[in-house]
Amino acid sequence: MTKIEEIKLEALKPKEFIEEKIKETSSIVGSGLAINALSGGVDSAAVTLLCHKALGEKLKTYFIDNGLMRQDEPEYVVELFKKLGVHVELLDAKKEFFNALKGLTDPEEKREAITQTFYKDVFGRIVKESGAKYLLQGTNFTDVEETIAGIKRQHNILEQIGIDTEKTFGYKVIEPIIQLRKTGVREVAKALGLPEEIYKRPPFPGPALVARVIGEVTPEKIETVRQATKIVEEELSNTGAFQYLAILHEDRVTGIRDGKRDFGLQIEVRCWESKDALIGSPTRLPYETLDKLAQRISTEVPGVVSVTYNITKKPPSTIEAV
Ligand code: XMP
């Protein structure tokens, strides 16, 4: 296992970093073919643009529609990169992901199912069909740290937990931004010429909305948390907070609607102040904001009868629920 040295924000020179990584990536890939998955987050967006600069036509970029993304996300990301001159192939893998998640309730098993479906099934197939030898991905320094610390198995950590991707999946993984934390990645993304809506985008987890559904994941539950997420993002995007999200609980609670008993769903809202996601505190949101969130979520998202706000710091809480 290779030890990864962090590049601290004070030491990072974005332009030089980009030049160096362009050289490094193109020398590793040589005349071969590489592929990468773009999720629309700042990490994968930075890697996509950086590596297109390095590899041009030798890099093929995919958006894997796993059915677990936020509303209209696939179309938004494909369109945005089209404007930047990068063609992104949209691949529908919804069925595969939902099948893999069926019956699983344990958080780490759910994360493992995402990893296997993504790296073995979907990418294994793309690699076979395209003949690519390399997968480029936007793993960052915090992902590595949290996995090694055994807190959460980050979906994209492979080599650091002893997986030989060449043997297991048939391709080599290249991780150009692995020495950077989020703030560093944002600097690099800006220097690459990505628009502000990308380099300032709040983080979104690789396992997508699965990280926000407690218990078994079904298309219906994902739809509920997707609708709640949209409202939370609309209401909290002006707070400047590090990250804000909605979680769907497994337990139902008794509510009342139109004078009748409604044994309904619970949504938990979280809004975080943090620098690098390692530690965090809940934002002290004005009560009017909380009130509006509860009002909107309980009327616009079918079945929701309870909305709560998490007031626990990380640690012992974590940013996502799963
Ligand atoms: P937690 O929930 O561990 O999250 O406090 C820390 C930060 O990481 C994001 N996150 C992930 N990012 N793959 C990722 O790329 C993952 O598997 C993953 N899980 C959590 C989370 O959104 C937060 O910013």
pLDDT confidence of 1, banded at 50, 70, 90? low
The pair of structure tokens assigned to 245 is 């999200």
Which residues, listed in sequence order, are joined to residue 246 by a DSSP beta bridge? Answer: 269
Ligand 1: nearest atom to the Cα of 146: 3
pLDDT tens per residue across span 149-178: 777 777 787 877 788 888 888 899 999 999
146 lines ligand 1 (CB under 6 A): yes
The Cα 58–Cα 31 span in angstroms is 8
203 lines ligand 1 (CB under 6 A): yes
Burial environment of residue 163 by CB neighbours within 10 A (0 to 12, 13 to 18, 19 or more)? middle
The CA 260 to ligand 1 mean position distance, Å, reads 39
**How many secondary structure helices (H) and strands (E) does the chain include?**
12, 10
Ligand 1: nearest atom to the Cα of 320: 2
318 lines ligand 1 (CB under 6 A): yes
112 lines ligand 1 (CB under 6 A): no
Question: Which residue owns the Cα nearest ligand 1 atom 17?
Answer: 154
Is residue 17 helix, strand or coil?
helix
pTM for the model: 0.91
Could you tell me if 260 and 275 are in contact, meaning their C-beta atoms sit under 8 angstroms apart?
Answer: no
Burial environment of residue 240 by CB neighbours within 10 A (0 to 12, 13 to 18, 19 or more)? exposed
pLDDT tens per residue across span 108-129: 999 999 999 999 999 999 988 9
